[in-house]
Each structure stands twice: as C-alpha cells, then as structure tokens.
Amino acid sequence: MTQKYIIALDQGTTSCRTVILNKEEKIIAKTQQEFQQIFPQPGWVEHDANEILQTQLKTLQQALEQAKISPSQIAGIGITNQRETTVVWNKNTGKPIYNAIVWQDKRTADTCELLKETGLENYVRKTTGLVIDSYFSATKIHWVLNHVDGAQEEAEKGNLLFGTIDSWLLWNLTNGKVHATDYSNASRTMLYNIKNLCWDETLVKELNIPISMLPEVKPSSFHFGNYELEGVQIPIAGIAGDQQSALFGQACFKKGEAKNTYGTGCFMLMNTGENLEYSENGLISTIAWGINNKVYYALEGSVFVAGSAIQWLRDGLQIINNAEESELFAEKVTEENPIYVVPAFAGLGAPYWDMYARGAVFGLTRDTGKNHLIKATLQSLAYQTKDILDVMQKDSMLQLSSLKVDGGACANNLLMQFQADILNVAVERPEEIETTVMGAAYLAGFCVGFWQQSDIINKRKIDKTFTPSFSKEKREKLYRTWQKAVERTKDWID
C-alpha cells in the first residue's frame, strides 16, 4: 500500500513554508521562502497578495520534490496563516484591488477612535470578544473600500471579496470555487459574532461593508474543497489562524492549558473550553477552533513585536548576522543588564492596547555596548509575556504550573531560562517546536481520518524544561523597572 502524507501550508508574516508529515507525525520535508515587506509610510505595513500566493505554491512544489512523493500520496492539506491581514480582490478577475494590509498596520487608528466615540466598545467586546483596534481586519476592509477608486461601488455590486490570508489561498487553490474561512480566522475580523457564530449585521453596517464580501465560516477541521495537482484532487481539510493552530499543535485540548508562541509577534493563548470567557484585564476572547460539531474558545494576549525585534537587530541596526547570534552576544553580558528595550514599534498590544506607543531604549550609559542592547531586546520578549500571563491568571483564576512554548525564538536557551526566571513558572519546550504547522496538519489529518487526538498526546515529547532560579526580590525589582519603562513609551504619537 502506498505511503500517505499530510501537507501543512504555513503562510506567515515574513515567509511562506510547506511541511510534509508522515503517519508517525515526523516531518519528512520542510521548505521556506521569505517575501517582500512593504512600508509605504511610517506605521503602514503591506504585502503583495499575489507574491504570497506564488511563494506559497513554490514552497509546496519544492517540498514535494524534497520528499520525493507524488500528489496521489497526499491524504490532505492543512492551512495556517498570519491572522487579521486583509485582502480584498475582484472575484471576476481574481486580482487584489490593493496590497494586503498586514495585522501590524496602524493606518486605521483614527477610524478606531471614531468607532470608540460612537460608544461601540462594549458592544464589540461582548459580540466579537475583541477590543476596537487597528490590529483587526474590520477597519482595514473599510479603509480599502474608501481609498481605492470605485471600490465601494464594486463591493455593493457584489464584485469584491474579502478574506484573511487563508481565504485568499483557499479561493486560489480551488480555482475560485470556494470562498470560505474557519471559525478561528473569522473571530479575528472584529465583524464576527463569536457567541451566535454569524457575521454581525450591526458592525458590518457601521463600517459600510457589504455582507456579500465576507466568506462562509466553517469548522477548523472540515473538507473545504479540493486542490487539483497533476490531475489529482487533494482535500483541503483543515484551516486555523497561526496562534490557534499552535495551541492545537501543543495539544492544549483541556481547559486551562496554555502556550506561548515566539514568532514575529508573541502570542499567549489559554484554552477556556466550550465556555466563552471575557477578560477584565485587557485580554481578548477568541475562538480556538471548531471540531466535531463543537466550538472551543480561548483567552489571548498579543504582543505585536517579538521575533521582529530580533529582525530589527539584524536588518535595522545590523549588529547581528542572524537570529542565532543574539544568544551568543547576549551571553557575554554576565552582570545584571541595566538596559531595557521596549519594542513598541507597532504600538502596544495586550494588556495595554496603546496604538500610539512607540519603541524606546532606557538606561543607556557611556559603557553601553551592542551586547547589552541585544540582551535587553531578548529579555523584552520575556517581560511582555509576563505582562500577559499575570492578567491571564487573574482572568481565569487559574495558576499555571508550566508554560508550553514554541516558535523560532524558543530555541534560544538564554531567553527561555530568563522567561522561566521572570515568570517563576517552569517553561516546557517540546522536541518539535514547529507546533503551528503541526496544528494545521493535525486538523486536516483528523478530518480525513489520518490521525486521532490521542495520537498527538501520546507522541508529544519534551525537549527541555527550564525551571526558575531567581529570588523573589530580584524578579520583582527587574519587573518593576520594566513596567516603568513601558509607562514612558505610552501615548508617544499625538
């Protein structure tokens, strides 16, 4: 019998990846390619949606060649994607009418302020689980319709479609036959009622977005449609936003289990089960996934800048050549580091939600060198994670015994040890840190009968557990100074 495989497409903020897994959940091929980041104005971030599509398809082809398998051996495809990033395209031509506006983009901050002035904050929170912020898709769609000539009119004629990146890929992979998304991605638009599981007419009307633009919303483990490759019909059987996918890939199936992903941003999610729970402390409520005719929810804290702060050291300041060097240079600072970097390059996310904050460095003295700056940048990821974990524990009334971690930066031992020290919680790193793609693969695999949930739990292995070593006094002093630094970055832009 021919060996079968599952493919996961991981469309991230800075790169596209394709991973192929066998029945034993082992990765047999992995390809990756970066694509262009477009910054038309300060605070604006865009991607070329066609470049994303072509890059993703290229990595898929390369992965098949690397694995030496044929399309007939693919049991199913799962998709995971950068969330909130917004594409509007013409359904007749298949062409985007504007670049994809990325989740980090801040151009709609003023629109968000106007929405707040109408008194919609509480309604948005109760309906969508979110706060009013330029992070989410709704105001990005509104901006495109108002700034591209003729867009509003075309949308009202039913000629335009909106999608987060998963929908854009799905529409193209199915040759325009399927315009859909899953519960997890829909819950990131600020237009979706996560309690009643439908597009919210009040919010759609407020932003003048024709409901005909919006995709159908399906479970995360579901046969969305087929991708035809060399005459073979391959089921697209799983879709989830990247952070929910990582939560699934970490096997956080029980209420109260949490993970933190260190990617371009830093995202902590806690499974709250089938109950929709609201935060009193600046976190957002979101749909984790839909599976087996049930919907599961999560509390989430979002840090906008994490791995991208390391990219800033590499590309902006050019003081490291690659991410791995950050650990090497940071280790040279053996004394307590007096420098604090607050990487609020795109404002502050949870629990502060300040669109007008900007990045800063504090504590500079004449003997400050690049090693201090590198170490402080790494430590900022851990401090921002503590900001979120503290309020998450308050909201859930649960104390975590350990934090599951994943994403590229969790390979950094110095960062993970500091994370455990500043949280006073054990940090658990799995052998397979590619949990985002694993989640997408699992969702697809479940749909086509390739795996069961018990397979994930039984085969999950821990690479290393980092245990706290700081005294209470040291931990509290360091964190107090961090909080002081954060306060001084707030409301910087008038």
Residues annotated as binding site for sn-glycerol 3-phosphate? 13, 83-84, 135, 242
| 240 SS3 class | strand
Bridge-based pairing of strands 74-81 and 5-11 is: parallel
Overall residue count recorded for the chain in this entry: 494
**Cα(155)–Cα(161) distance, rounded to whole angstroms?**
8
Q: What angle do CA 138, 85, 345 make, to 5 degrees?
A: 100
Are the C-beta atoms of 188 and 163 separated by less than 8 Å? no
Nearest CA to 375 out of 404, 403, 417 is that of 417
Axis crossing angle, helix 165-173 with helix 49-67, rounded to the nearest 10: 60
Beta 402-406 vs 426-430: how paired, if at all?
Answer: parallel
Q: Which of 376, 382, 427 is nearest to 258 (CA)?
A: 427
Q: How far, in whole angstroms, is CA 171 from its chain's centroid?
A: 21
Residue ranges for the known binding site for ADP are 13, 17, 264, 307, 408, 412
Annotated binding site for glycerol: 83-84, 135, 242-243
Residues flagged as binding site for ATP: 13-15, 264, 307, 311, 408
Neighbouring C-beta atoms of residue 191, cutoff 10 Å: 27
- In the chain, the N- to C-terminal Cα span, in Å, equals 66
CA distance 242 to 259: 12
Residues tagged in the binding site annotation: 13-15, 17, 83-84, 135, 242-243, 264, 307, 311, 408, 412
Interior/surface letters 398-417, b for 16+ CB within 10 angstroms, e for the rest: eebebbbbbbbbbbbebbbb
Q: How far is CA 464 from CA 76, 428, 429, 431, 461, in A?
A: 32, 6, 5, 8, 9
Q: How far is CA 25 from CA 70, 220, 407, 419, 441, in A?
A: 19, 19, 18, 29, 9
What Rg value do the Cα atoms of the chain yield, rounded?
A: 22
What is the rounded distance in angstroms from the CA atom of residue 128 to the CA atom of residue 284? Answer: 9
Q: Which two tokens stand for residue 84?
A: 């909130």
